[in-house]
């Protein structure tokens, strides 16, 4: 019935088309609209529901409101150290320098942050940040951010296309020309013509079984950009957040903010031992407390104390939990204990304090796990959270290797290198969202003429409706997705091995064939089975990229840990891994040397060692 082809579809024209309406996409759209160009904003969900809303801890910006020793120099050095020096140093520099202004701008647009005693924006401690640096609103900073951007944006004349999914990017020769999409509501196709396109689609978490990400995080942006000719970079670096909920089973993967540890929460194994003191990496020894007393003082704002080992980088903490579980010292459901209730030994009003500092965590555990975090320790374990790799971009303009195609936020690579520091994501969104919007608008003004090739749209349309014509006994989309998630979780997860990853690659090749043959029931009106079928090629593309890069990197660094190569190898520290689409349609992997850091930045790294 409605599965037949549309002979006509709506064409919408914008100067700048932004795909994705989380923090980065909204910020890009606001910036572009501010320059006077016509801006369209596409979101797969309703406005304001993007993953940014889940961010809890805060946004990193060296404002120095709590500790005036902080500066962009220290933030830059922290980001580079956390990223194991695979970062795009230009992006790390711009990020550290511009984040404070972007945060203040949010306040001017109505965001209301927690305050210092003298009324300035309060900043909290977070893993890998030397000084208290995260501007925050309790533990719902992401909600404050996205609502501020959303409410500011709706008055900027941006055309918002809600519940629309992009199927393919359109090209005019080498340059971008727009995107071809469908609306989820009616299943109608839409052609967006635009001389500049900004990708702000977020991450890839749904490639894994246990994830903090929602259904939306199917790697659309990475995959669409790759198929349009852009390069993907460092895809092996996936962040497994150390603290996801693990019990009851239905909540597995839901995030427990790092803010719990920032407020004094400690990690313990089944023997009650605080195991994070067991192994402190060499390059963090000088900045990490060597006893519980000092660690506690740090969380309470003592400037002369060093941070507790629970606040080491996420990759390290996740691996430490993994070691405890494998050694048989895990919690009953295969994780570790995260205890914030213990602070009642130190604070008179601990219960009220926890509820005030971590209200949504309190609420989340009460409601979903029926337990009171002010009284009992939480059971937690690693969960797929973020991808450091993504679309390769120019550090200043955020343009990809495809003229007119920009990328910002999680979908872009570079800022975080091999591992992202908590709090550097929200600041990434606003710093590079702004830049992407600014330069996309500039590009659109300078290169306004594009021609649409109707054949590209027709091919995408034919592929999209093909699943309706297939026999009902073909594979279902959910089963293919689940098989992929199981394989990626088991074989390309937190600890990796050559033969397991080769198994994953073979599984992906097999699932590609199945995905090309899935059948969809029903019609095109709001049909999640169909939507899932159309997400599969994206999930498979990013899974293959992750796996190929992970096989190539024969060392352990940041978010990428290999049991067969457990040490960091300096030889792997001088290049990024790039994935591009070869002329034969297969993935090409190349090693791209990292340009030498200029002297003024080397100096900054040295002075913060």
Of 266, 262, 308, nearest to 134 by C-alpha is 262
Q: Per rule CB under 8 A, is residue 162 in the interface with another protein?
A: yes
Length of the chain: 609
Q: Per rule CB under 8 A, is residue 144 in the interface with another protein?
A: yes
Q: Per rule CB under 8 A, is residue 24 in the interface with another protein?
A: no
CA distance linking residue 374 with residue 355, whole number of Å: 8
The torsion region of residue 523 among left (phi > 0), alpha (psi -120 to 50) and beta comes to beta
Task: Indicate the residue among 34 and 573 with the shorter CB distance to another protein.
Answer: 34
Neighbours of 473 (CB within 10 A): 7
Please, which of residues 446-485 interact with another protein by CB under 8 A?
Answer: 476-479, 482
Site string for another protein, 364-393 (x = CB under 8 A): x--xxxxx----xx-x--------------
- Identify whether the C-beta of residue 298 lies closer than 8 Å to the C-beta of residue 307: yes
- In three-state secondary structure terms, 284 is helix
Strand ranges (DSSP E) for 200-287? Answer: 232-233, 238-245, 266-268
Task: Indicate the residue among 214 and 580 with the shorter CB distance to another protein.
Answer: 214
Q: Per rule CB under 8 A, is residue 344 in the interface with another protein?
A: no
Task: Indicate the residue among 99 and 415 with the shorter CB distance to another protein.
Answer: 99
Tokens of 35: 């320059």
- Identify whether the C-beta of residue 153 lies closer than 8 Å to the C-beta of residue 26: yes
Q: Per rule CB under 8 A, is residue 179 in the interface with another protein?
A: no
Binding window for another protein (CB under 8 A); candidates: 234-242, 454-462, 503-511, 523-531: 523-531
Site string for another protein, 106-125 (x = CB under 8 A): -xxxx-xxxx-xxxxxx---
| φ/ψ of residue 489, rounded to 5 | -65, -45
**Nearest approach, Cβ of 95 to another protein (angstroms)?**
20
Give the burial class of 517: count Cβ atoms within 10 A of its Cβ; 0-12 exposed, 13-18 middle, 19 or more buried.
Answer: middle
Q: Per rule CB under 8 A, is residue 3 in the interface with another protein?
A: no
If you ran DSSP here, which 8-state letter would residue 237 be given?
-
Bridge partners of 211, per DSSP, are: 384
Tokens of 588: 């090409």
Please, which of residues 224-263 interact with another protein by CB under 8 A?
Answer: 247-251, 254-255
**Nearest approach, Cβ of 53 to another protein (angstroms)?**
5
CA distance linking residue 68 with residue 161, whole number of Å: 43
**Nearest approach, Cβ of 410 to another protein (angstroms)?**
15
CA distance linking residue 341 with residue 343, whole number of Å: 5
Of 26, 33, 52, 46, nearest to 183 by C-alpha is 46
Catalytic residue among 38, 73, 241, 420: 241
Task: Indicate the residue among 163 and 552 with the shorter CB distance to another protein.
Answer: 163
**Nearest approach, Cβ of 306 to another protein (angstroms)?**
27
241 noted as active-site residue: yes
The binder of another protein chosen from 90, 97, 104, 445 (CB under 8 A): 104
Q: Please identify which residue in the block is written with the tokens 């790799």.
A: 389
Catalytic residue among 81, 129, 130, 261: 261
Q: Using CA atoms of 492, 498, 502, 505 in order, give the dihedral in degrees to the nearest 10.
A: 30
Q: Per rule CB under 8 A, is residue 329 in the interface with another protein?
A: no
**Nearest approach, Cβ of 51 to another protein (angstroms)?**
8
The binder of another protein chosen from 214, 305, 447, 489 (CB under 8 A): 214
The binder of another protein chosen from 79, 123, 137, 239 (CB under 8 A): 137
Task: Indicate the residue among 206 and 562 with the shorter CB distance to another protein.
Answer: 206
How big is the chain by its Cα radius of gyration, in Å?
A: 23
Task: Indicate the residue among 90 and 147 with the shorter CB distance to another protein.
Answer: 147
Binding window for another protein (CB under 8 A); candidates: 171-179, 212-220, 260-268, 418-426: 212-220
**Nearest approach, Cβ of 574 to another protein (angstroms)?**
39
CA distance linking residue 105 with residue 443, whole number of Å: 24
**Nearest approach, Cβ of 272 to another protein (angstroms)?**
14
CA distance linking residue 19 with residue 222, whole number of Å: 12
Give the burial class of 124: count Cβ atoms within 10 A of its Cβ; 0-12 exposed, 13-18 middle, 19 or more buried.
Answer: buried
CA distance linking residue 346 with residue 348, whole number of Å: 7
Residue spans of alpha helices (H) in 17-88: 23-34, 72-82
Please, which of residues 562-591 interact with another protein by CB under 8 A?
Answer: none
- In three-state secondary structure terms, 175 is strand
Task: Indicate the residue among 100 and 414 with the shorter CB distance to another protein.
Answer: 100
Task: Indicate the residue among 166 and 551 with the shorter CB distance to another protein.
Answer: 166
Please, which of residues 481-520 interact with another protein by CB under 8 A?
Answer: 482, 520
Q: Please identify which residue in the block is written with the tokens 């352990």.
A: 556
**Nearest approach, Cβ of 500 to another protein (angstroms)?**
26
Q: Per rule CB under 8 A, is residue 51 in the interface with another protein?
A: yes
- Identify whether the C-beta of residue 199 lies closer than 8 Å to the C-beta of residue 224: yes
- Identify whether the C-beta of residue 251 lies closer than 8 Å to the C-beta of residue 413: no
Angstrom CA distances, 122 to 116, 403, 421, stand at 5, 40, 19
The binder of another protein chosen from 24, 26, 53, 431 (CB under 8 A): 53
**Nearest approach, Cβ of 369 to another protein (angstroms)?**
5
Q: Per rule CB under 8 A, is residue 301 in the interface with another protein?
A: no
Q: Per rule CB under 8 A, is residue 97 in the interface with another protein?
A: no
Binding window for another protein (CB under 8 A); candidates: 124-132, 489-497, 527-535, 585-593: 527-535
**Nearest approach, Cβ of 522 to another protein (angstroms)?**
3
136 noted as active-site residue: no
Binding window for another protein (CB under 8 A); candidates: 80-88, 142-150, 289-297, 388-396: 142-150
Binding window for another protein (CB under 8 A); candidates: 276-284, 344-352, 360-368, 569-577: 360-368
Residues with catalytic function:
241, 261
């Amino acid at each position: 019935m409605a599965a037949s082809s549309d002979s006509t579809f709506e064409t919408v024209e914008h100067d700048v088309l932004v795909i994705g309406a989380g923090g980065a996409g909204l910020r890009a759209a606001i910036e572009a609209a501010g320059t006077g160009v016509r801006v369209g904003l596409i979101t797969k969900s309703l406005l304001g529901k993007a993953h940014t809303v889940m961010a809890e801890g805060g946004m990193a910006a060296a404002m120095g409101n709590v500790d005036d020793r902080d500066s962009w120099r220290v933030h830059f050095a922290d980001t580079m150290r956390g990223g194991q020096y695979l970062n795009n140093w230009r992006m790390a520099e711009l990020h550290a320098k511009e984040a404070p202004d972007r945060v203040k701008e949010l306040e001017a647009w109505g965001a209301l942050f927690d305050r210092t005693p003298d009324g300035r924006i309060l900043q909290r401690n977070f893993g890998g940040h030397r000084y208290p640096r995260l501007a925050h609103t309790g533990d719902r900073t992401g909600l404050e951010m996205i609502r501020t951007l959303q409410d500011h944006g709706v008055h900027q004349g941006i055309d918002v296309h809600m519940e629309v999914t992009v199927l393919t990017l359109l090209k005019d020769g080498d340059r971008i020309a727009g995107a071809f999409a469908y609306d989820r509501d009616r299943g109608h196709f839409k052609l967006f013509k635009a001389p500049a396109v900004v990708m702000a689609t977020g991450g890839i978490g749904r490639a894994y079984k246990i994830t903090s990400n929602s259904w939306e995080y199917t790697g659309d942006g990475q995959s669409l950009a790759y198929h349009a000719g852009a390069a993907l970079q460092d895809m092996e670096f996936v962040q497994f957040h150390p603290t996801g909920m693990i019990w009851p089973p239905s909540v597995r993967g839901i995030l427990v903010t790092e803010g719990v540890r920032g407020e004094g929460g400690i990690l313990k194994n089944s023997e009650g031992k605080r195991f994070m003191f067991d192994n402190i990496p060499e390059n963090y020894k000088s900045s990490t407390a060597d006893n519980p007393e000092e660690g506690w003082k740090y969380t309470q704002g003592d400037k002369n104390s060093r941070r507790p080992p629970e606040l080491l980088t996420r990759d390290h903490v996740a691996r430490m939990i993994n070691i405890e579980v494998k050694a048989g010292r895990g919690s009953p459901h295969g994780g570790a204990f995260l205890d914030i209730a213990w602070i009642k030994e130190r604070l008179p009003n601990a219960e009220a304090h926890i509820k005030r500092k971590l209200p949504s965590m309190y609420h989340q555990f009460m409601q979903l796990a029926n337990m009171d975090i002010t009284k009992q320790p939480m059971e937690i374990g690693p969960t797929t959270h973020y991808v450091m790799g993504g679309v390769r971009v120019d550090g200043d303009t955020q343009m990809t290797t495809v003229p007119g195609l920009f990328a910002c936020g999680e979908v872009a690579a570079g800022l975080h290198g091999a591992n992202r520091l908590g709090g550097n994501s929200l600041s990434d969104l606003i710093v590079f969202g702004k830049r992407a919007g600014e330069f996309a608008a500039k590009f659109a003004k300078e290169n306004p003429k594009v021609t649409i090739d109707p054949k590209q749209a027709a091919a995408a349309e034919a592929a999209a409706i093909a699943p309706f014509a297939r026999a009902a006994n073909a594979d279902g989309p959910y089963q293919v997705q689940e098989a992929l998630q199981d394989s990626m979780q088991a074989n390309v997860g937190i600890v990796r091995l050559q033969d397991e990853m080769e198994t994953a690659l073979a599984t992906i090749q097999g699932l590609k064939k199945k995905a090309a043959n899935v059948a969809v029931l029903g019609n095109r009106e709001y049909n999640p089975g169909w939507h899932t079928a159309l997400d599969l090629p994206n999930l498979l593309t990013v899974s293959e990229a992750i796996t190929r890069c992970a096989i190539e990197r024969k060392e352990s660094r940041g978010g990428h840990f290999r049991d067969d190569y457990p040490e960091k190898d300096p030889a792997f520290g001088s290049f990024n891994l790039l994935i591009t689409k070869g002329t034969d349609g297969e993935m090409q992997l190349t090693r791209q040397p990292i340009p030498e850091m200029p002297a003024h930045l080397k100096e900054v790294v040295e002075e913060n060692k």
